Structure 1
Amino acid sequence: MELRHLRCFLAVAEELHFGRAAERLAMSQPPLTVAIQQLESEVGAALLLRNSRGVRLTAAGSALLPRARALLTSASQAIGEAREAAHGLSGNLVIGFAGTMLYRGLPQMLRDFRAEHPRIKLSLREMNSGEQVIELQHDRLDAAFVHTSRVPAGMHQILVASQTFVACLPDHHALAGARSVKPSQLAGEPLALVARAVSPDYHERTLAMCSAAGFDPVSVHELRHWLSVVSMVAEGLAVALVPAALQQCGMAGVRYLPLSQKEAALPRYETRCLWSAARDQPALGLFLNAVRTVAQAG
């Protein structure tokens, strides 16, 4: 069943006049008559009765009319949605993020993007950096916010943020009242950090900072989430070196102190937005514009 046949039928059924229907469709009457005949042949029943008194619907035509309207409306909506998607005006995006992005610009990006593009649906998935890279490679994410410099081939990237590390200490710690802390002053303390499997870059950088300061931690507690790291510090069970953005988490029982710049150059904690170079998704381009705006402002 062709849409053009349904359009012809609908015009005649609503006008109940072949001449007016042909004029409405900007066509001559003979091809309109042929289209109706072809549709009737496909249905296997007469749809319209035409005589000297005019045109009327048969029982089959009356049954088909509401369905024809619905089909044509649905087809028109589908075409409109496809056009909007092609221009990035609608669509669905699945965005991966590491938890600290909640304190480093992600909420602002989402608010700004949703305000400007309300018809694009965003679905968020919290994962560690390694998991996000795997999901990107399998086309299960449109974009990902990761904490790694190990960007696979075939991925584009935006450097969203580069922040310092700070010392995170229990608020009753002997150094809690200091203005800053040298990494070497944490020697002999249990150290909480995110596990190597979760964030290998951070894990290695943290231990490298300790090594550069001349010590190896007496014990290491490896956790899956940043807030777990801060929680362990708040309970007085460890100290930690964490990204400065975690100061915004508002957890009680901890103090954050800057690390002394007199020691060896301290590494940065970098956040990147990654996406596949092969991803053909116009809505993604609009989202990446929002990411760049926040990144440049930061």
Structure 2
Amino acid sequence: MIHLETRQLQYFVVLAEELHFSRAAKRLCISQPPLSMAIKQLEGTLQAQLFERNSRGVRLTHAGRHLLAQARDILERTRRAAADTRAVAQGMAGSLRLGFVGSSMYRGLPEALELMRAQYPDVRVDLLELNSIDQLAALQSGKIDLGLMHTLAPPAGMRAQVVVSEPFIACLPARHPLAAQDRIAMAQLANERLILFSEAVSPEYFGVIRSMCQKAGFDPELRHEVRHWLSVLSLVGTGQGVSLVPACLQRAGMQGLVFKPLARKAPLSVLQAMWRPDPEHPLVPILLGHLQSVVKKQRPAASGRR
């Protein structure tokens, strides 16, 4: 196998451009003997004469002219490979596979992605919407690099960080009799049809809301169980029932809905990030930094917004 050193190719290209050993050595910041030795070694490796030397100077042979273009290409590809690798290691390039739950879209994720795109245009973020349990499995299998999910205890070997926590609020059709109230008592929902996330998709949310109802003295009448928050809002908007949702969903901008805080302190809906710290993907802390910055700037959604 022929082994070409980038140092030898660099010396060759400079000499081919200068056609003068002394000037080439000066440009390379070396003395002339190491340059001559490197060229001889390169010619020996290739078993081809690259330069003709005589009293009138130096000129490329046919083989030397053939090598010049390829040597320039090899050196440029080597330079790009080094620069690209350095950029990936520093988080300025590469790709990040991001899992997310639907509520992330109302908790700063679109804005954080836009900040990352503006700051690092060579970074690609691949998005995959998954429920929390499926994200955990995807992290463990290496299918995603970072997950934005509801609160799950991180297993051994994973790191987790809370992104945002906010209370559950009541979501009602705009014409609902309770829509005129400033606050809603849980007991007032006892006879309402409740639209919830499917227990199979989000057992935590399902359990929290059922517990809220039971503490108010009733078991919820579960008429619909859905898989996406927009489906919850759509069903409420068409009068199919009421729901308890994270406060961030007020930012969805859907018509025909009213959001009301609860009369008593409500449990918190928590969005957390989870990732593998060993080895840590260099783009993970960058995206999390943008996300935390956006969350801090977002003002809490006003209660009672229509």
CA distance in 2: counterparts of 1:129 and 1:143, whole angstroms: 12
**Of 113, 131, 134, which residue of structure 1 is paired with 2:134?**
131
Hey, what does 1:120 align to over in structure 2? Answer: 123
Quickly say closer, same or farther: Cα 1:123–1:194, change in 2 above 3 A: same
Q: What amino acid sits opposite 1:191 in the alignment?
A: L
**Of 74, 82, 96, which residue of structure 1 is paired with 2:85?**
82
Hey, what does 1:280 align to over in structure 2? Answer: 280
Q: What amino acid sits opposite 1:86 in the alignment?
A: A
* Structure 2: runs of 5 or more not aligned: 299-306
**Of 150, 156, 174, which residue of structure 1 is paired with 2:159?**
156
Q: TM-score if structure 2 supplies the norm length?
A: 0.88
RMSD of the alignment, in Å?
A: 2.1
**Deviation of 1:266 (Å):** 2.6
**Of 5, 17, 21, which residue of structure 1 is paired with 2:20?**
17
Hey, what does 1:192 align to over in structure 2? Answer: 195
1:289 aligns with 2:292: no
- 5 Å-filtered alignment, 1:88-237, equals 88-237=91-240
Q: What amino acid sits opposite 1:84 in the alignment?
A: A
Superposed CA deviations along residues 77-100 of structure 1, whole A, max 9, x for unmatched, are 222222333333333222222111
SS in structure 2 of the partner of residue 167 of structure 1: strand
Hey, what does 2:302 align to over in structure 1? Answer: none
* Structure 1: runs of 5 or more not aligned: none
SS in structure 1 of the partner of residue 180 of structure 2: coil
Hey, what does 2:301 align to over in structure 1? Answer: none
CA distance in 2: counterparts of 1:10 and 1:151, whole angstroms: 55
TM superposition outliers: structure 1 runs of 4+ over 6 Å:
none
**Deviation of 1:295 (Å):** 4.5
Aligned residues: 295
CA distance in 1: counterparts of 2:174 and 2:89, whole angstroms: 54
CA distance in 1: counterparts of 2:222 and 2:206, whole angstroms: 14
Q: What amino acid sits opposite 1:273 in the alignment?
A: A
Q: TM-score if structure 1 supplies the norm length?
A: 0.90
**Deviation of 1:198 (Å):** 1.9
Superposed CA deviations along residues 32-68 of structure 1, whole A, max 9, x for unmatched, are 2232222223333222111112111111111111111
With 113-122 and 17-26 compared, the bigger mean Cα shift is at 113-122
Contact 1:189 1:219 in 2 (8 A): no
Hey, what does 1:268 align to over in structure 2? Answer: 268
Quickly say closer, same or farther: Cα 1:57–1:79, change in 2 above 3 A: same
Quickly say closer, same or farther: Cα 1:135–1:43, change in 2 above 3 A: same
Hey, what does 1:242 align to over in structure 2? Answer: 245
SS in structure 2 of the partner of residue 164 of structure 1: strand
Contact 1:158 1:292 in 2 (8 A): no
Superposed CA deviations along residues 122-164 of structure 1, whole A, max 9, x for unmatched, are 3332222122222222233232211124222222222211111
**Of 261, 265, 277, which residue of structure 2 is paired with 1:258?**
261
SS in structure 2 of the partner of residue 81 of structure 1: helix
Contact 2:196 2:222 in 1 (8 A): no
**Deviation of 1:296 (Å):** 4.8
Q: What amino acid sits opposite 1:274 in the alignment?
A: M
**Of 63, 66, 81, which residue of structure 2 is paired with 1:63?**
66
Indicate the percent of aligned positions where both proteins have the same amino acid: 44
**Deviation of 1:297 (Å):** 5.0
Q: What amino acid sits opposite 1:36 in the alignment?
A: I
SS in structure 2 of the partner of residue 176 of structure 1: helix
